[in-house]
Each structure stands twice: as C-alpha cells, then as structure tokens.
Structure 1
C-alpha cells in the first residue's frame, strides 16, 4: 500500500469519526471494506470510487461592484480528495437516515458502489458543481488567487 492509499484510508477514518471515537469509525470502515472484498482489490476499488466523484473545479463567491458573483476556480488535489470523501460519507449518513434498518457500513458500501459505477447522489453533486462552474466561466477573469 503506497502513501496516497494510506492517506485516503486515514482520511476516511478521520472524517467518519464522531466525538473522537476513532475505534468505532475504524470498525465501520473495516466492515465496509470486508463487504467490498467480493468486488476485487478493496483499496483500488476505494480509490476508484473517490476518483470518480472528485470535483475538479468549484465556484467561490466574490463581491464585484456591489453584487456577488460565482467565480470558478481549480481545486488543489488534497481538497479534491477531501471533498469527495466528505460527500461520500454525507450521502451514506443520509441514506442511513432514510433506511433505519441498515448500518452505516452497509450504507457506505452502497455509496461506494454507486460512486464506482459513476451514479448516485455524490456523482450528481459533482456534476452539478461542474455545470455551475461552466455556466459562470464568464467571470473567471475575476479570479486573483
């Protein structure tokens, strides 16, 4: 396992953690990875899911001449990965709220499957963000950072 894969796993654990209960978040991730075993190599599956939902550009609000405009900007690699993992975990938590009988590990497994197949709420969120940035690309010259 290389450094990028270890960082991705650690980021999943840390973002899944609530109230400092790291052991609980590790167990959730381990159970999810155990479910992913029948789909081949677990780590590459996880990395592929994150890669499929990574946003490349985002919009930032900039105040120009009294009005606020959405200015598209490129996202650094670490932020892309953080956003993708955060979105996957948020979607898993939402799925768990709608289906009370499922555990978080089952919902996370389902979200990772959707992300790998480039479907689901997380991929839609990424595509919506890209469409918003595309529609506001006329304001890209206001970017100064």
Structure 2
C-alpha cells in the first residue's frame, strides 16, 4: 500500500485525473478518504479495469468460481484480488500474465477409456477449446492448493507462484500437461478406435 503525505496527495490526484487510467476513480476515492478504510471486492476492482474483452472476463469468473467452496465467493475474490496485486508488482499486465500462463498449461489432446470387445483402451483425442481452458484452470488451482502445505503459507502466495511457474513453462500444472500428452502419444496406435 502506498502511503502519501498530505502535501503530495494533491499532486498525485492531479496526475491520476489527467492520466486517463481506468482505475484512477477507484484510487482517487481510496486516497481521498484516508480516515475511513474501504474494502473492495474483486468485482469492483475488475469493473474499473477497462479494456477487458469477454474472453478475459469469462476467464476471471472461471478462476473465481472454480476455487469457491461452500458458497464463499467473497473470500475467493479477496484471494484473487491479492494475487492480481502480486502479479501487478512484476511490471506486467496481471490478466495477460494469467492468460499466457493458462495458454502454456492448456492440453491439446487427452485420452479417453473405451471398451472394445472386452478390452479397455486409452484412445487419444483432441480437446475442445472450452475444456482446454477448464482443465488448465483446474490444474493451476489444484497445484496452488497442494503447494500450500500444512497451511504454512497463504493461498495467494501459492497461486501467484504457480501462475508464474506456468508462465515460465514449468511447475506442477505444466507437468500434468506433459504427462497427458505423453500418454496420448504412447497410445496413438489406438486412435482408430475413436468414434466420437
């Protein structure tokens, strides 16, 4: 959090108003009421982040909804908001960084078990675009949750670390993708059993 002295506040407010940033109204509101502490939900922050297309908004909603347990969406939004703050400190666009990390984790092919003449075969097939994104989100969130051992570290830190690992093409979620692709490559001789 940035601490600003009273004299410098007017200069920063003037710069923010002239900059045309989409998040400027939120920051202005926050720093103008220094005496009262305001808590924002993730959706309020994301509403001020202009320029998001429908696909990125869908990705954000999917990230929040997949991690939600027992209807505690506000808690998950706070975790995601803190993760976005950590990603913003890396001098990159946080949403674009998440999108690139998911692109690195998305599987291209997967295997399905098919029973033919009493035998069960692992038949490889191409994954649909929606399922690719769903699997990537699921794998990153599961890897972040597993990284958090004995509740010693915060989930925000683990999610940030897993997103950065996925962005750099390493980590647990990326290994799952490579294992799945290896399994599909091993069983490519059974591809002719694919009927769907």
Whether TM exceeds 0.5 here: the answer is yes
**For this structure pair, what is the TM-score category when the shorter chain's length is used for normalisation?**
over 0.9
Give the number of the structure with larger relative contact order, counting CA–CA contacts within 8 Å between residues 6 or more apart: 1
Question: Aligned match of 2:142 in 90, 99, 122?
Answer: 90
Spell out the pairing of 1:97-136 with structure 2 (5 A cutoff).
Answer: 98=149, 100-136=151-187
CA distance in 1, matches of 2:95, 2:184: 31
In the TM superposition, what whole-angstrom CA distance separates every residue of 1:34-56 from its partner, at most 9, and x where no partner exists? 00002211110010011000001
User: Could you tell me the TM-score, scaled by structure 2's length?
Assistant: 0.72
Unpaired segments ≥5 residues, structure 2: 1-51
- Runs of 4+ more than 6 Å apart: none
In the TM superposition, what whole-angstrom CA distance separates every residue of 1:107-130 from its partner, at most 9, and x where no partner exists? 000000100000011101100100
Larger Rg belongs to: 2
Question: Aligned match of 2:75 in 24, 38, 44?
Answer: 24
Provide the residue aligned with 2:20 in structure 1: none
Question: Aligned match of 1:34 in 69, 73, 85?
Answer: 85
CA distance in 2, matches of 1:6, 1:100: 30
Unpaired segments ≥5 residues, structure 1: none
* RMSD (Å) for aligned C-alpha atoms: 0.8
Quote the offset at 1:100 in angstroms. Answer: 2.5
SS of the residue 1:68 aligns to: strand
Q: Tell me whether 98-107 or 131-140 shows the greater mean CA deviation.
A: 98-107
CA distance in 2, matches of 1:56, 1:25: 29
Question: Aligned match of 2:62 in 4, 11, 36?
Answer: 11
Question: Aligned match of 2:121 in 51, 56, 69?
Answer: 69
Number of residues of Structure 1 aligned to a counterpart in Structure 2: 144
